[in-house]
Structure 1
Amino acid sequence: MAEELFVTLPSGCQICYQVFGNRSDPAILIISGHGSAMTQKTDEIVRLLSPPDDPHFVIRYDHRDTGRSTSFSQSPDGEPVYTLKEMADDAIGLAEHLALDSFHVIGISLGGPMAWQVAARLPDRVRSLALVLTSPTGRQLNPSDILPPLHLEGQWLLGEAFSVPEDRDDHEAWIETYMRLALALATQPPTEAEIAEARRECEVTYHRERESGTMWTKFNHSGASGPRWPRELLKQVRCPTVVVHAAKDQVLPMGHGEALRDDVEGATLVVLEDCGHELPHRVRHRVVDAILTNAKRDK
């Protein structure tokens, strides 16, 4: 396992991150979704992103309020503690720290609007963009968006999966809560390998977040993600872009993936027919193949 590294950005936010591979290879920055630490659902994806015949320098990181990155106190009046733009600033700050002259960007779910902000703000440095299981607007729609509202099923399933143990020091109960959340949006019964993976990742993530305090503050992401996402910036994306969307997504209707494709000039859409708002083993090769194929369009 790669060493966990830390950088304190100009904002004062400390970000924990890992790098994999040779710095001389093309760089790929992974931006995860709502409340997701870098240790969740990315181990195999990191490996797949760097096959022997197409190696990459892969970077993943803990968002603020996840993993071992800075934990922000929650606002007593319920106002957002920070904005989605500030979360995108973290990604740009990490790229600056690593002196990435050029790099590919992957944004998953809530990581999507952060990723296209990075691409729009750094058009001469972002070589390709992958928007996975995401939306041009998030849950707040304007009449002009002409998009279906978000599905309520995903919110209900996640709400059913979450519970705070009676004994808040019961580590096993917390790990089970993390596991229920990790598997809540599965559209097929998880395989034994997927259950074992969820157990391993959730155990690691829970102990990291318990130590740092982010297990209590990761819900600050809800405040940041609440306002309408910056759809207008999609028109400023100039790099090759692929949109990956799931036909059975319980959160984001297919129309959101189609709108992303239409909003970015030249973008392509890959549909995962047998999948929801998840990245199970059965679709990971296809997702990564789509990302790497799109990255080659830059050459």
Structure 2
Amino acid sequence: MPTIQANGIELYYEERGHGSGVPLLLIMGLGRQLIAWPEDFMAELVAAGHRVILFDNRDVGLSTHFHQAKTASLLRALAGLTFGLGFQTAYHLKDMADDAVALLDHLGIASAHMVGVSMGGMIAQNIAIHHPTRLRSLVSVMSTSGARGLPGAPARLRRQLVKRPGGTPSRERAIETARRTLELISYPDPLRPKDAFINHATAAYERAYDPKGSLRQLIAVLADSKRPHRLGSIRTPTLVIHGKYDELVPIACGVDTARRIPGARLEIIDEMAHDLPPSKTQFIAKLITDHAKRVEESKQA
């Protein structure tokens, strides 16, 4: 099992493609394991000549979980955010950014193209802020600047996301909750198999079920209040991709991210919500590989 020891924790990672390919690091979102990356999407990246690296963030999947860490409750964190008060976190998004950089160090990679989705986009933004020389390019997908005042998810979606059944839920109940969440945040793509959500929810449960890890990650996201003011310092060539029908992280969040990062290009995708819909994975992959190709060519010019 490929793991590294870094920053006092263990990170699980995998690779696709040839080791001589142009490195491209994928950073997954809140509570999602590396198995959430569609294999056909990664195959497109590999076909374009990339060495694709993916990993489980801390607190999910097969990486270290912070079971003993003390954090603020979600209510306390939201109150602290509202009133400008501090609150306790198990770690910060910068720590998660440092994890990604440590993985590159372990693999002997000086710099890589980086693609982050949702919270992964926030982590990638932190890498661009704190470790600018480690990125060749940045792609922030269905993510946000984190600026105050941006629209959030509707109440019905927030209720589903914070739903915590009492005690330890049964396997069936936990999987059904995850399936329902995926269904609510995703675009109803006709090319998606009918059993896709239940199959993924089941695989994620069997691999590593830890809803409290997702909550600790969410607290870290809420604590990342300085990032919006630092995005203007980013000089990494940046592409921002956002789904037109994203309710979890509304389109205004992607627009604001692109506005704050100098020179960033914004791509709005129809028939996409807070997911990588099967009918759009090839197109999204091409946006990413074309962006990386332009950056590589500009360095050679």
TM-score range, shorter chain: 0.7 to 0.9
Q: Is the 8 A contact 2:240 2:254 kept in 1?
A: yes
Going from structure 1 to structure 2, the CA distance change for 1:229 and 1:39 (only over 3 Å counts) comes to farther
Deviations 1:211-238 (A, max 9, x none): xxx3442210111011225123322322
Shift of 1:80: 1.3
Aligned to 1:59: 53
Task: Supply the distance in 1 between the matched residues of 2:71 and 2:272 (Cα, whole angstroms).
Answer: 38
Shift of 1:15: 0.8
Deviations 1:192-216 (A, max 9, x none): 7443333332222111214xxx344
Aligned to 2:281: 284
Aligned to 2:263: 266
Shift of 1:164: 5.7
SS in 1 for 2:208: helix
Shift of 1:249: 1.7
Question: Which range moved further: 42-51 or 216-225?
Answer: 42-51
Name the aligned partner's letter for residue 286 of structure 2. Answer: D
Matched, 1:122 2:131: yes
Shift of 1:174: 2.3
Task: Supply the distance in 1 between the matched residues of 2:182 and 2:252 (Cα, whole angstroms).
Answer: 25
Aligned to 1:145: none
SS in 2 for 1:113: helix
Aligned to 2:219: 223
1:234 to 227, 231, 234: 231
Alignment of 1:127-166 (within 5 A): 127-137=136-146, 141=148, 148-153=149-154, 156-157=156-157, 159-160=159-160
Task: Supply the distance in 1 between the matched residues of 2:281 and 2:200 (Cα, whole angstroms).
Answer: 17
Aligned to 1:107: 116
Task: Supply the distance in 2 between the matched residues of 1:21 and 1:82 (Cα, whole angstroms).
Answer: 32
TM-score scaled to structure 2, two decimals? Answer: 0.84
Task: Supply the distance in 2 between the matched residues of 1:16 and 1:195 (Cα, whole angstroms).
Answer: 30
Q: Is the 8 A contact 2:72 2:219 kept in 1?
A: no
Task: Supply the distance in 2 between the matched residues of 1:108 and 1:193 (Cα, whole angstroms).
Answer: 19
Shift of 1:75: 1.5
Alignment of 1:1-299 (within 5 A): 4-9=1-6, 11-51=7-47, 54-73=48-67, 74-75=69-70, 78=73, 79-137=88-146, 141=148, 148-153=149-154, 156-157=156-157, 159-160=159-160, 168=168, 170-188=170-188, 191=190, 193-210=192-209, 214-227=210-223, 228=225, 230-298=227-295, 299=297
SS in 1 for 2:136: strand
Shift of 1:13: 1.3
Going from structure 1 to structure 2, the CA distance change for 1:126 and 1:76 (only over 3 Å counts) comes to closer
SS in 2 for 1:88: helix
SS in 1 for 2:3: strand
Q: Is the 8 A contact 1:109 1:133 kept in 2?
A: yes
The answer to which structure has the higher helix fraction is 2
Aligned to 2:77: none
Going from structure 1 to structure 2, the CA distance change for 1:161 and 1:237 (only over 3 Å counts) comes to closer
Q: How many residue pairs were aligned?
A: 280
Gaps of 5+ in 2: 74-87
Going from structure 1 to structure 2, the CA distance change for 1:8 and 1:216 (only over 3 Å counts) comes to same
TM-score scaled to structure 1, two decimals? Answer: 0.84
Going from structure 1 to structure 2, the CA distance change for 1:193 and 1:245 (only over 3 Å counts) comes to closer
Aligned to 1:144: none
Question: Which range moved further: 76-85 or 162-171?
Answer: 162-171
SS in 2 for 1:14: strand
Gaps of 5+ in 1: 142-147
Task: Supply the distance in 1 between the matched residues of 2:241 and 2:41 (Cα, whole angstroms).
Answer: 14
